[in-house]
Amino acid sequence: MQFPRDDRDHALAHAFRDFIRDPPFPCVGAKSALSKGQMKIVVARDITSGWDDMRIYPALLAFAARYKQTPDLFQSFAVVFEGPGDLGEEQFEHHLWARAQSLADKDSWLGHPWDQRVATDPESPHFSLSFGGEAFFIVGLHPRASRPARRFSSPVLVFNLHAQFEVLRAANRYEKLRSSILERDTAFAGSANPMLARHGEVSEARQYSGRAVSDAWRCPFQGRPQQGRPQAEGKPDV
């Protein structure tokens, strides 16, 4: 399996870094990852197609492996897609989960275990995705997102590590970080994000796309049989 080219100098990578650096952008965790040079960006063609999944997956796997070797705080993996730019919120959500399913299926096929700290069932309040044995949650962005913090010129999937927030909680830094993000997001959008919840309260799958969903919403992701009892941890999201 070949590793993808380095996309750091792609125009979309530059644009995404500028988007995060913009002072009103609320996620201070993303700002920290960028300022520390710890945000890996892959530029892919089309979020509605599996064309680049075999480029994205090995890069995500390598990112997980690097984190295990050097577990510094504030590391993120972002996939910026060239398009399409006209997806509605439900369409974007559909394709986000199609890409997540494709990547997870490849991880399963290669025999990587699901991170035991989280649940495999997307309806579980302890659910997170898992790649290379590391738990991740996704923050989706796209041009027609209703929340300003999720509104970028192209579709984006940002993969954030579950383990980092366990470290923050152990250091009593999590609640302060979460409060800062929530306050900044409310100031940016003019209202609080109704979908936010702590890990362990409701499934984080409801937050991935950024779309406000009802209690009747069901995640289309097909998980794996549970292999252990996950821990209940929290993580901020915008």
Q: Which amino acid is at 76?
A: S
154-163 pLDDT tens trace: 999 999 999 9
DSSP string, 138-164: EEEE-TT-SSGGG--SS-EEEEEEHHH
For the record, the structure tokens of 14 come out as 């530059």
Q: Is the pLDDT of residue 209 over 90?
A: yes
From 120, 168, 134, select the one nearest 63 (Cα to Cα).
134
Q: Among 15-19, 119-123, 176-180, 222-226, whose mean pLDDT is lowest?
A: 222-226
pLDDT at 228: 40
**Do 192 and 185 touch, CB atoms closer than 8 A?**
yes
Query: Is 0.75 topped by the overall pTM?
Result: yes
pLDDT at 59: 96
> Which is higher by pLDDT, 114 or 238?
114
pLDDT at 225: 63
pLDDT at 192: 83
